[in-house]
């Protein structure tokens, strides 16, 4: 097993939802230095407040990863040995600005690949993909061999990034692995512009507004608690067998949006009406992940049950409101 101990580590998108949780777990691995970069497009410095205050070997830099010179400078200055690449323009933006979302996401990955290819020292890349690259399930549970039928330009940008990283592995031998998480939820998920269904529903109920279901509510997702995804990501780095491979990280459970909203309402004692709106463009119908490859090869097992995770998430948003 490879250790992160005494390594200089970089997290792109580190002020975002998953990135900030990854920073919290990485710092516990006794890394020499942990650098988080983010342009704060959606990320927040407050997500890194605790770690910034308490850990001297942690630093945050406001950097745009689409700028090759800026990101190279950080990687060189801190003699980075491992990069967890999470920075992204999210799905919701791709519905409004498809061209920009696609080019931003691919450009960031391209910059990281090029810097690693040209680096004087070896740098390991653990890059984040997304279950969105599969599109709606042709079969369930969806393993890594499921057809890649992207619905949205966001999914296309993630898949393009995946194949780019893989091509650098095959052609230039970069040390890489791909993490393919299903729908994450938990504390710190962005609830502002371009937010996902869980933070939107919780904050609407807190503000006295009705929760919203788009479409018939029968569309399903595989919800995985953010702490489980982050633990899985570290396992992917630690095991050399992951190199050149992609790993689903999923709970294996299929939950409809209607059931999700009902669970949040129950947790928040909300008994009011639900607002129904028309289906969102590109929305996938069915998602259920098969994470048995990560389980068998890396010993990955999600620890947080759905109801427990929703409770933790609701508690966090409630505490933060005070
Ligand atoms: N949240 C999920 O359910 C989910 C599921 C599957 C995969 N993923 C992947 O996980 C990763 C993290 O997603 P997240 O949910 O934490 O999203 P997030 O939006 O919370 O975090 C992404 C971060 O990237 C930053 N960013 C955007 N453009 C940037 C740029 N040009 N330079 C520097 N930083 C930039 C944003 O400010 C943000 O903080 C992404 O790669 C995403 O595709 C997320």
Predicted confidence at residue 106, as pLDDT, reads: 98
Give the mean model confidence (pLDDT) for residues 86-105.
97
| CA pseudo-torsion sign 149, 155, 160, 166 | negative
Measured in Å, residue 273 CA sits from the centre of ligand 1 at 32
pLDDT above 70 (res 322): no
* CA 42/CA 31 separation, integer angstroms: 26
Classified as helix, coil or strand, 248 is: strand
The best mutation among 15, 17, 227 to test binding of ligand 1, ranked by most ligand atoms within 8 Å of the C-beta, falls on 17
Q: Which of 174, 66, 85, 86 is nearest to 123 (CA)?
A: 174
Residue 8: pLDDT band (50, 70, 90) is very high
Classified as helix, coil or strand, 232 is: helix
Architecture of domain 8-186+225-252+290-303: 3-Layer(aba) Sandwich (3.40)
Give the mean model confidence (pLDDT) for residues 82-91.
98
Task: Report residue 125 as tokens.
Answer: 């890349």
Classified as helix, coil or strand, 155 is: helix
Work out the angle at residue 313's Cα, subtended by the Cα atoms of residues 63 and 265, and round it to the nearest 5 degrees.
130
pLDDT above 80 (res 61): yes
CA-only gyration radius of the chain, Å: 19
% of the chain residues with pLDDT over 90: 96
Place of tokens 């869980």: 198
Give the mean model confidence (pLDDT) for residues 188-217.
94
Give the mean model confidence (pLDDT) for residues 199-225.
97
Closest residue by Cα to atom 1, ligand 1, is 184
Q: Is 154 noted as a catalytic residue in this protein? A: yes
Average of per-residue pLDDT values in the chain: 97
Residue 194: pLDDT band (50, 70, 90) is confident
Axis crossing angle, helix 17-27 with helix 226-238, rounded to the nearest 10 = 60
Q: Where are the domains of the chain?
A: 8-186+225-252+290-303
Give the mean model confidence (pLDDT) for residues 36-52.
97
Residue 5: pLDDT band (50, 70, 90) is very high
Integer angstrom CA distances of residue 141 from 73, 148, 179, 222, 297? 42, 14, 17, 10, 18
* CA 236/CA 152 separation, integer angstroms: 27
Q: DSSP string of 96-152? A: H-HHHHHHHHHHHHHHHHHHHHH-SS--EEEEE--GGGG-S-SSSSB-TTS-----S
* CA 197/CA 220 separation, integer angstroms: 12
Atom of ligand 1 nearest to the CA of 104: 31
Closest residue by Cα to atom 6, ligand 1, is 130
* CA 193/CA 200 separation, integer angstroms: 10
Stretch (H or E) spanning 34: strand 33-38
pLDDT above 50 (res 298): yes
Closest residue by Cα to atom 34, ligand 1, is 38
* CA 5/CA 79 separation, integer angstroms: 15
The best mutation among 10, 43, 180 to test binding of ligand 1, ranked by most ligand atoms within 8 Å of the C-beta, falls on 43
């Amino acid at each position: 097993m490879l250790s992160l101990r005494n390594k200089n580590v970089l997290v792109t998108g580190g002020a975002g939802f998953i990135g900030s949780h990854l920073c919290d777990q990485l710092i516990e691995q006794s890394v020499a230095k942990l650098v988080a970069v983010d342009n704060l497009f959606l990320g927040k410095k407050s997500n890194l407040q605790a770690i910034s205050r308490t850990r001297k070997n942690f630093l945050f830099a406001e950097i745009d990863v689409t700028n090759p010179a800026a990101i190279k400078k950080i990687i060189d200055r801190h003699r980075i040995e491992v990069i967890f690449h999470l920075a992204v323009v999210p799905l919701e933006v791709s519905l409004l600005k498809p061209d920009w979302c696609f080019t931003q996401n691919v450009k960031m990955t391209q910059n990281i690949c090029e810097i690693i290819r040209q680096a004087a020292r070896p740098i390991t890349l653990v890059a984040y993909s997304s279950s969105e690259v599969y599109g709606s399930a042709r079969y369930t549970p969806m393993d890594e061999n499921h057809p890649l039928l992207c619905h949205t330009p966001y999914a296309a940008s993630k898949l393009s990034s995946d194949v780019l990283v893989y091509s650098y592995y095959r052609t230039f031998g970069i040390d890489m692995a791909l993490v393919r998480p299903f729908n994450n939820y938990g504390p710190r998920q962005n609830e502002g512009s371009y937010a996902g269904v869980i933070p939107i529903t919780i904050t609407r109920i807190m503000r006295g507004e009705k929760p919203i279901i788009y479409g018939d509510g029968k569309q399903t997702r595989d919800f995985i608690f953010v702490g489980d995804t982050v633990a899985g990501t570290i396992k992917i780095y630690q095991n050399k067998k992951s190199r050149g491979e992609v790993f689903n990280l999923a709970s294996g459970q299929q939950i409809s949006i209607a059931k999700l909203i009902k669970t949040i309402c129950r947790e928040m004692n909300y008994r009011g009406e639900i607002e129904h709106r028309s289906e969102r463009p590109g929305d996938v119908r069915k998602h259920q992940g098969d994470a048995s490859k990560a389980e068998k090869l890396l010993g990955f097992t999600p620890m947080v049950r759905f109801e427990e995770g929703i409770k933790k998430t609701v508690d966090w948003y409630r505490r933060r409101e005070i």
